[in-house]
């Protein structure tokens, strides 16, 4: 299995959060799919914690958001971060977190989170009009994908990636 860190930053380059040793499942010219399962997380302020459940993570090279699909007992809960497209270097997969989040619950409820943080950071970090427009446009694109249940907002797609991860883990255990 190939491991890497996920590293998120704020607009000014300040470290926001690091997920340690996540597993890379897939990468092509459009997307990278990772999975974390009880991995160590370090917040920018130094606080450390562990993820509680497996999560399939989709990072896009052309969209300004990423999607974290948390596998909880008998359902999937989706957490979407408005963010820059990612880059990968020797340190890991990196992106800028733009504060706004969308949560999709198993019952179909969609909830916008952290609007107040985003509105504050527009001024604090001096987001340009261009960045604000990109975030607004990508929020609309994200909500349309959710509404249509396009991948990755499709439980069978998420479980398929999770199954691939379990197969890789089993192969690793045999070594």
Rounded to an integer, what distance in angstroms lies between the CA atom of residue 118 and that of residue 125?
A: 10
Residues in the chain: 175
**17 among known catalytic residues:** yes
- Contact at 8 Å (CB) between 102 and 112? yes
First to last CA, the chain: 11
| H helical segments located in the chain | 115-124, 129-148, 155-174
Structure tokens at 64: 């300004």
Catalytic residue among 17, 20, 52, 149: 17
Catalytic positions: 17
């Amino acid at each position: 299995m190939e491991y890497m860190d996920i590293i998120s930053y704020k607009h000014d380059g300040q470290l926001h959060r690091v997920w340690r040793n996540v597993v890379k499942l897939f990468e092509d010219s459009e997307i990278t799919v990772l999975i974390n399962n009880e991995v160590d997380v370090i917040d920018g302020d130094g606080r450390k914690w562990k993820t509680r459940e497996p999560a399939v993570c989709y990072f896009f090279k052309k969209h300004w958001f990423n999607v974290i699909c948390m596998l909880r007992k008998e359902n999937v809960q989706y957490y979407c971060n408005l963010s820059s497209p990612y880059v990968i270097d020797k340190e890991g997969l990196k992106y800028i977190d733009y504060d706004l989040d969308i949560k999709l619950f198993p019952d179909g409820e969609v909830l916008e989170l952290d609007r107040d943080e985003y509105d504050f950071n527009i001024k604090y970090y001096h987001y340009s009009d261009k960045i604000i427009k990109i975030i607004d446009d990508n929020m609309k694109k994200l909500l349309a994908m959710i509404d249509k249940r396009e991948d990755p907002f499709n439980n069978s797609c998420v479980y398929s990636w999770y199954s691939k991860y379990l197969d890789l883990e089993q192969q690793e255990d045999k070594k």
